[in-house]
């Protein structure tokens, strides 16, 4: 990196993980890291910024987004909503995308894009835990799968059973009942993945989603959820190795954009 390059920092403090991205003035990602969220948003912020290499600490501007942004916005130059940052991050990495599906630890959102230029509509669920990453973590513990085992599970030949409740507490009761009846683990896992996908699909309908689709957030790495989303939407759901970083990338791009305005 040349000494004349400016560095912009984006931080996304979620309920389960904290993410940091640094970009240069060519909008190239030059550093990224993901850590587990700790006791408070401020401590997660401190943990992330401590990881920045010495040669990249001359930050031109920074922005924060996510679950913890209200608690940490005085520590950065700018703050921005998750909707804005996921839109900016995904469209920078994949400019062809028309619909973004983001499922995180404790919320989910769908963003539709108009002519690759602006946000057309969005829907967000941050009140019900069913259909989020944390819900799946708890349910996998119930059936004896680690989240890593679930992430790579092939359920393409598995017929799911309907979980009637969309409430976390009642859904958990149904899962416990299935376990007691010796329903196979992969069937329960597929059923839970379909429940999460269905919750997202029904939320998304009012935004009139269109392909191409991209999935960001921690749940994007869970293949069974993507499998059921693709069946419900009738289209491929793209993702990539940086899918968890899209909010932080968008925050860095937002910091650059706001700095240029000034």
Provide the residue-wise pLDDT of the chain in tens; the chain has 262 residues: 554 689 999 999 998 899 999 999 999 999 999 999 987 999 999 999 999 999 999 999 999 999 899 999 899 999 999 999 999 999 999 999 999 999 988 789 999 999 767 999 999 986 666 677 888 988 898 898 888 999 999 999 999 988 876 667 778 888 889 999 999 999 999 999 999 999 899 999 999 999 999 999 989 999 999 999 999 999 999 999 999 999 999 999 999 999 998 7
Helices vs strands, H then E, count in the chain: 9, 10
Q: Tell me, what's the pLDDT at 128? A: 65
- Cα 133–246–191 angle (5° rounding)? 25
pLDDT tens, residue by residue, 114-144: 976 799 999 998 666 667 788 898 889 889 8
Claim to verify: residue 233 and residue 109 sit in the same structural domain: yes
Is residue 87 situated within a structural domain?
yes
Claim to verify: residue 181 and residue 197 sit in the same structural domain: yes
CATH number at residue 152: 3.30.420.40
Claim to verify: residue 140 and residue 14 sit in the same structural domain: no
Q: Tell me, what's the pLDDT at 16? A: 87
Whole-Å CA distances, 67 to 21, 62, 75, 153, 204: 17, 17, 15, 29, 21
**Strands of 61-65's sheet in order across:** 29-36, 17-24, 7-13, 61-65, 78-79
Beta strand ranges found along the chain (DSSP E): 7-13, 17-24, 29-36, 61-65, 78-79, 99-103, 108-114, 118-125, 213-216, 237-238
Claim to verify: residue 123 and residue 229 sit in the same structural domain: yes
Claim to verify: residue 234 and residue 251 sit in the same structural domain: no
Q: State how far the Cα of 110 lies from the Cα of 205, in Å rounded to an integer.
A: 9
Is residue 74 situated within a structural domain?
yes
Claim to verify: residue 229 and residue 249 sit in the same structural domain: no
Q: State how far the Cα of 106 lies from the Cα of 207, in Å rounded to an integer.
A: 21
Q: Tell me, what's the pLDDT at 132? A: 79
Claim to verify: residue 216 and residue 253 sit in the same structural domain: no
Preceding omega of 74 cis (within 30 degrees of 0)? no
Within 10 A of 205 (CB to CB), how many other CB atoms are there?
10
Is residue 1 situated within a structural domain?
no
Structural domain that includes position 45:
7-94+244-261
| pTM score of the predicted model | 0.91
Q: Tell me, what's the pLDDT at 122? A: 96
Claim to verify: residue 140 and residue 169 sit in the same structural domain: yes
Whole-Å CA distances, 223 to 52, 80, 140: 31, 29, 14
Q: Which helix (H) or strand (E) holds 97?
A: none
Claim to verify: residue 57 and residue 117 sit in the same structural domain: no
Domain count, the chain: 2
Q: Tell me, what's the pLDDT at 38? A: 84
Q: Tell me, what's the pLDDT at 57? A: 93
CA atoms within a 13 Å half-sphere pointing along the CA-CB vector of 183: 22
Claim to verify: residue 90 and residue 105 sit in the same structural domain: no
């Amino acid at each position: 990196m040349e000494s004349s390059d400016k560095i912009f920092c984006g931080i996304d403090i979620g309920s389960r993980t904290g993410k940091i991205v640094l970009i240069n003035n060519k909008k190239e990602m030059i550093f990224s890291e993901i850590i587990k969220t700790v006791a408070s948003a401020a401590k997660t912020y401190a943990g992330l910024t401590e990881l920045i290499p010495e040669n990249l600490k001359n930050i031109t501007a920074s922005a924060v987004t996510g679950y913890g942004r209200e608690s940490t916005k005085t520590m950065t130059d700018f703050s921005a909503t998750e909707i804005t940052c996921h839109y900016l991050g995904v469209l920078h990495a994949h400019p062809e995308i028309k619909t973004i599906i983001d499922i995180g630890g404790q919320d989910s959102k769908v963003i539709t894009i108009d002519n690759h230029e602006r946000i057309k509509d969005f829907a967000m669920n941050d009140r019900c835990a069913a259909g989020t990453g944390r819900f799946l973590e708890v349910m996998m513990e119930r059936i004896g799968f680690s989240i890593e085992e679930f992430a790579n599970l092939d359920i393409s030949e598995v017929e799911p059973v309907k979980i009637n409740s969309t409430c976390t507490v009642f859904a958990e009761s149904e899962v416990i009942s299935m376990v007691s009846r010796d329903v196979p683990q992969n069937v329960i896992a597929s059923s839970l993945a379909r429940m999460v996908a269905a919750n997202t699909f029904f939320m998304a309908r009012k935004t009139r989603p269109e392909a191409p689709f991209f999935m960001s957030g921690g749940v994007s790495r869970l293949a069974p959820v993507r499998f059921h989303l693709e069946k419900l939407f009738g289209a491929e759901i793209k993702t990539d190795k940086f899918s968890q970083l899209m909010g932080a990338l968008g925050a860095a791009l937002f910091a650059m954009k706001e700095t240029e305005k000034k």
